[in-house]
Amino acid sequence: MKPLTQAQAEILAAVPRLGTDEVPVAEALYRVIAEPAVAAGPVPPFPNSAMDGYAVRSADLTSVPVTLPVNEDVAAGSVPTMDVTPGTVTRIMTGAPMPGGADAVVPVEETESIDRSTVTIRASVGEGTHVRPAGGDVAPGDIVVDAGVRLTARHVAALGGAGITPVVSKVPTVALMSTGDEVVEPDTADLAPGMIRDTNRVLLRGMLTDLGVPFVDLGIIGDDTQELRAAYVHASEVGDIIVSTGGVSMGDFDFVKAILADTGSVDFWRVAMQPGKPFAFGNVSGTPLFGLPGNPVSTFVSFEQFVRPAILSMMGAAKLFRPRIAGVMGEDVQTNDEKEVFLRVLLAEDSNGSFVAVRSGGQGSNILSALAAAEAFAVVPVGVGSLSAGDPVTLEMFTWTENRGIDG
Ligand code: AMP
Ligand code: MG
């Protein structure tokens, strides 16, 4: 069996790195930025007020309360027409440019204005108080987002604030298909004898959508030589990578191998992982092919361990793998010491704040209910074979979205 990390390394070495595009910030979400985004100018672009209040010369407030004349009002979006000269102030709104001469802002709460032409200030302020200096967020030449980051909403906001049009990687289009004579569309109401509903394509479509990657869904392909060959060739034409499920277990090897013999190459691997041991990797006319096992949980684990990192690598991402955190096993469990085992687990927090993992249900590679309920993998390395309640365990966080209600 091939060690998992070796299989991952071979795949990452084999997939191409895609080219780049310049895209508007509004279209950059989930793209991987290809070059460091360097700020041309300062953010904020000008010194401005952090509060609604009065722009002052702090030296005028050594003795308070003090009543001073108001020069003018400056709102966000307008510019001051007068400097703040000694013994005067300017009424200013949050985000409005600081007038020349002023070095601080007194919040409106610290003042009293009987008529609009004067104000009584009750508190003194130090120089710079409530002033946001030009470049206080980003200075010219600063790197706003470094190369290799997959852009989230927060990143695109930071790029937008700095006026940067990012250079991002192209995104691969994934051609996907399920294979198997027994597989029918998932919304089939009455299953004919021996038929099962296709769970793998909706699973793959969902995971690709989460990744921000487009796909072409080629549907369900029967276990027929001509049909399969045509589907793989078509997939190689419409996709930058091909992801299929099924047909990679021992009995099917020769079949698919023969199909792909004249159009590409495919290697069948037995990867030391569970679920997901049978796996095929190769290419059809140069288009990388990921042949995932047919069992849905194996499909999920294989996608997570091979396809997702490969797609991120093609896009030039610096970080390819899910976050891993330290946790504690909450129950005794026997695994397989020859394989890296990905238990599907639910997490609870103990009184020390540690995450305690218990299996979310049956661990068979067909048990989708337990996968659906799970929050993480508990990763049990090769050579371990069993864990006891209280043992440390590594958790791989494949999903960690909402996990608290209004009660905390
Ligand atoms: P295979 O890899 O084709 O030998 O399939 C392994 C197991 O996964 C068999 O029990 C198949 O019926 C099942 N299977 C294959 N494809 C799918 C699919 N798209 N959805 C759900 N189960 C599948
Ligand atoms: Mg099959």
pLDDT digits (tens, 9 = 90+) for 34-65: 999 999 999 999 999 999 999 999 999 999 99
In sequence order, the 6+-apart residues with CB closer than 8 A to the CB of 340 are 3, 4, 272, 273, 274, 379, 380, 381, 382
Instruction: Kindly report the pTM of this predicted structure.
Output: 0.93
Out of 132, 160, 194, pick the residue that ends a domain. 132
CA dist., res. 359 & res. 370, Å (int): 8
Q: Is the CB of 246 under 6 A from ligand 1?
A: yes
Residue 366 lies in a domain: yes
The verdict on 37 and 159 lying in the same domain is: yes
Residue 147 lies in a domain: yes
Residue 143 lies in a domain: yes
Distance, first Cα to last Cα, the chain: 45
Residue 116 lies in a domain: yes
Secondary element (H or E) of residue 395: strand 392-396
Residue whose CA lies nearest to ligand 1 atom number 20? 198
Q: What is the CATH number of the domain that holds 337?
A: 2.40.340.10
Question: In which band, very low, low, confident or very high, does the pLDDT at 202 lie, cut at 50, 70 and 90?
Answer: very high
Which percentage of the chain shows pLDDT scores above 70?
A: 98
The verdict on 155 and 31 lying in the same domain is: yes
Burial class (CB in 10 A: 0-12, 13-18, 19+), 358: middle
> How much is the pLDDT for 403?
67
- Distance from the alpha carbon of residue 3 to the mean position of ligand 2, in angstroms: 25
Question: In which band, very low, low, confident or very high, does the pLDDT at 401 lie, cut at 50, 70 and 90?
Answer: low
The verdict on 25 and 155 lying in the same domain is: yes
CA dist., res. 391 & res. 254, Å (int): 43
Q: Is the CB of 200 under 6 A from ligand 1?
A: yes
Give the pLDDT confidence of 219-264 residue by residue, as tens digits.
999 998 889 999 999 999 999 999 999 988 877 766 777 778 888 8
Residue 319 lies in a domain: no
Residue 408 lies in a domain: no
Collapsing DSSP to helix, strand or coil, 200 comes out as helix
Q: Is the CB of 199 under 6 A from ligand 1?
A: yes
Which amino acid would we find at residue 313? S
The verdict on 163 and 26 lying in the same domain is: yes
Q: Work out which ligand 1 atom sits closest to the CA atom of 200.
A: 19
> How much is the pLDDT for 154?
97
96: containing domain: 48-132
Q: Is the CB of 248 under 6 A from ligand 1?
A: yes
Q: How many domains are there within the chain?
A: 4
Q: Work out which ligand 1 atom sits closest to the CA atom of 298.
A: 8
Q: Which two tokens stand for residue 340?
A: 């890296």
The verdict on 191 and 253 lying in the same domain is: yes
The verdict on 342 and 301 lying in the same domain is: no
Collapsing DSSP to helix, strand or coil, 105 comes out as strand
Would the pLDDT of 188 be above 70? yes
- Indicate the Cα dihedral angle 307, 310, 312, 318, nearest 10°: 140
- Distance from the alpha carbon of residue 252 to the mean position of ligand 2, in angstroms: 8
- In 3D space, the residue among 206, 201, 398 whose CA is nearest the CA of residue 301 turns out to be 398
Q: What is the CATH number of the domain that holds 66?
A: 2.170.190.11
| Mutational pocket test of ligand 1: of 187, 195, 196, the residue with most ligand atoms within 8 Å of the beta carbon | 196
